[in-house]
Each structure stands twice: as C-alpha cells, then as structure tokens.
Amino acid sequence: MLEGKKIIYGVTGSVAAIKAPIIARELMRANAIVQSVMTPSAEQFTTAYSLSVITQNEAITNIFSSSASTWHIHLGRSADAMFVAPCSATTLGKLRYGIYDNAVLLVASSLPPETPLVLAPAMDEEMWLQAAVQENVAWLRAHGVHIIDPQSGALASGLVGLGRMSEPDELVRKFMALIGTQKSNQTIEHHTHLSLQDKRILITGGPTYEPIDPVRFIGNRSSGKMGAALANVAANEFGASVTIVMGPSTSETVQSVNRINVETASQMHGAVESLSPSSDIIIMSAAVSDYSVKSYSEKKLKKHGAADAFTLELAPTVDILKEISANRKAKQIIVGFALESHANGEAYAKKKLAEKSLDMIVLNYFDEVGSGFSADTNAVTIFTKNGKTKNIPLASKTMCAREILIAITELL
C-alpha cells in the first residue's frame, strides 16, 4: 500500500520511542520511502543513527540540520503523509497552539493542507486523561489531524492503564488504513456528476443514554465518529444540506452541518420524526438503545446491602428506523446500519435490510480489530436492495463515509 510513497516519520520524547526503529522497519517493509525527523527529547530513548541505518536516509534531529533555511518546506511538500509515533503530550500541545520549535513540529507546520498528518500519542494514563490533553486532541481532530488512540496495557511506569501505543506492526497497519485515501479520492473524481447538492440529508449518530436516576444511565460505547464523518463528507464534499441528530458525543461536525444534540432514544425519535418528511435521504448510523427504564427515579437510588438483589424493569424503545421506513415518502432513500459479529453478521444485516424495507444497509463488526465503536477506522460491507454488495476494507471512517455516500448516489 505504501509502495513508492514518501513518509515523514516523526519521533518525539516518549518512552515508547524505544520502538521507533521497529516502526521505521515496518514502514520500510511496506515499501515506503521513509525520512525520519526527531525531537531532542526523542534522542533520550533512541538514536538518529539507528533510524538512519534502517531508513537509508539520514535522520533529521534539529531545525538547523540543513544549510538551506527552507528545508522543511521542501520536505513537507514532497511527502505523501507524515506519521508521528510516539507523539508526546508536549507535541500535542505545541501542534494545537502553533509552536514549531523542533524539527518534527517544523515539518508538520509545512505540510500542504491535503497531506495527511497522523499522530499516535503514547503516555501514562494520568497524562492522557488530563483535560488539557483531551482538549488538544479534540481540537486537532476537528482540524483534520488523524489520531490513533492509545490502548490499555502495561505502561512504562509499571502501572497498567490507558496510554500504551499499539505494537509497531498494528500501528503501521492502522496508519496505512488512515492514509489510504488515493483510491477513494479517485473514486470521488470519477463520480463528480453524482452530486448531492440539491439533496437534504438527515443523519443520526452516536449513542443514546437512558436515565435510571439523576446520576446513572443505560448506554453503549458508540462514539459518534461514523455519524460525524458521514455528515462532514456529505456537506463538504458532496454539497448536500445536512442535519445530524447526535446522541451524547464529543465528535466534531463542521459548521455547515446543522447539529441537533439529544440524549435519549425518545428525544432522537422526536427529532427524526419531525425532520424525516422533509428529507430526501435518511442515514441511521446511531446506536439507539433498545430499552429504556420503565420507572425513572427522581432521587439517586441507594445501595441497601451487598447481598441485596437489584432489579430494573425495562420497556422497549420505539424502533425509529422501522417507523420512518414504514412512513416514507416517495423516492426517499433510507439507509440503516448493522453492528454484528463475524459469525452471523451478513445474515442478520440482509434480514434487517428486507424486514425494514431499506434501500441500503451498512454492516460492520464489533469483533474486528480497528472496526466498530470509538476507533478512527472501520471496515464495512454495503448491501443494497437491488442485490449489490460492496466491501470496504479497513480504512478511515472518512473514507468509509465517502464510499457509503457514493453508493447512495448510485441508488439515486
């Protein structure tokens, strides 16, 4: 996938930088042309020499590495992508606030807008969960930077928690999935006549939370990233008029998207019921709760004793997708999502497509690495009512959104 692509590989001051030579080797195995750049702090954990030997290019370690004062501009413009792994908390903050005082940051500042920048943060859990770090990550994501979230596992501090960088082979695989946009962009160019400029699209995204009492709720792990990607791509690249009804989610949507934030399945149902008659296309990507609590407690429920059993009586929520499909208007396109396991996913998705009279259903798997909730990547299969099937291998959720929207234009 990286055959002949020039990748700038940045290494910053995290203990995980001891894995930098292995990451560089994995990039080389993917047939990339790799140019390493390092911060001074990174040299406390690995060496420029080792990266130079592996990549067959001299690693750049400071902003005066070249006699040409504009070296970083030429390097940035020549790259197909930049990958910073590990990315320290300090680097996240400096990128957020435009502080470019080392070689890695200087090259990052010189990337053309269309060149992907991918960051793989690595730090201890307490650092990763700091409000400032999370705000910086959210801002960078909202401004087009790809983040490969750290995993839970053994940390350099000797503790176990969230903040561990993925192993080099998995990390490079995720990186390749995120930057593999060339094919998708070419597909878009070949479908420029399939614009959605005159279409009103209604999208649902994120989870719903069903309250038990003032402090507890029933929910799920949906992040809203897929819904946000669909909304952003539909508005920015396909020119549609987009409204998204979003459950509790920090996923950002662009200013041109009309966003309606809700919390419960009932609130989402009300919003969709109101908006669906005026929509040309409805994409139901939200993970809506199947049940809500029958009797909400106005006061916090107290624990009576360790041996006491506690029972919640649940009531089914409205099947929003089934309802809007049953009351659809002429020529309205309705798209559903199915999150299943590999064991029975395709059968369940096709059954849902038929039973709810959908035009299209998008299947993804919760038991596939890099797919499903919270990840920046996804792997989906698109089934349409006319019997067509399209597989989208692991790719960024933005890429998946493009392919889903292209499939919708083909239905039109």
In the chain (412 residues long), the average pLDDT of successive 10-residue segments reads 88 95 94 94 95 93 72 89 96 95 95 92 92 91 90 85 90 86 41 70 96 94 93 90 95 90 96 95 96 92 75 94 93 95 90 96 86 79 94 84 92 88
User: Residues of CATH 3.40.50.1950 domain(s) within the chain?
Assistant: 6-180
The whole model's pTM is what?
0.59
The architecture (CATH level 2) of 6-180 comes to 3-Layer(aba) Sandwich (3.40)
pLDDT given for residue 65 in this prediction: 61
pLDDT given for residue 161 in this prediction: 85
pLDDT given for residue 178 in this prediction: 84
User: Residues of CATH 3.40.50.10300 domain(s) within the chain?
Assistant: 193-296+311-411
pLDDT given for residue 377 in this prediction: 82
pLDDT given for residue 190 in this prediction: 41
pLDDT given for residue 187 in this prediction: 41
CA distance 347 to 372: 18
pLDDT given for residue 188 in this prediction: 43
Q: Out of 220, 258, 327, 386, which one is annotated catalytic?
A: 220
Provide CB contacts within 8 A for 208, sequence distance 6+.
219, 220, 247, 248, 262, 263, 264, 265, 267, 268, 286, 287, 288, 289, 317
Please name which of 289, 268, 291, 293 lies closest in space to residue 212, comparing C-alpha atoms. 293
Helices assigned H by DSSP within 360-411: 397-411
Residue 362 per-residue DSSP state: E
As a residue count, the chain comes to 412
The architecture (CATH level 2) of 193-296+311-411 comes to 3-Layer(aba) Sandwich (3.40)
Q: Is 220 a catalytic residue?
A: yes
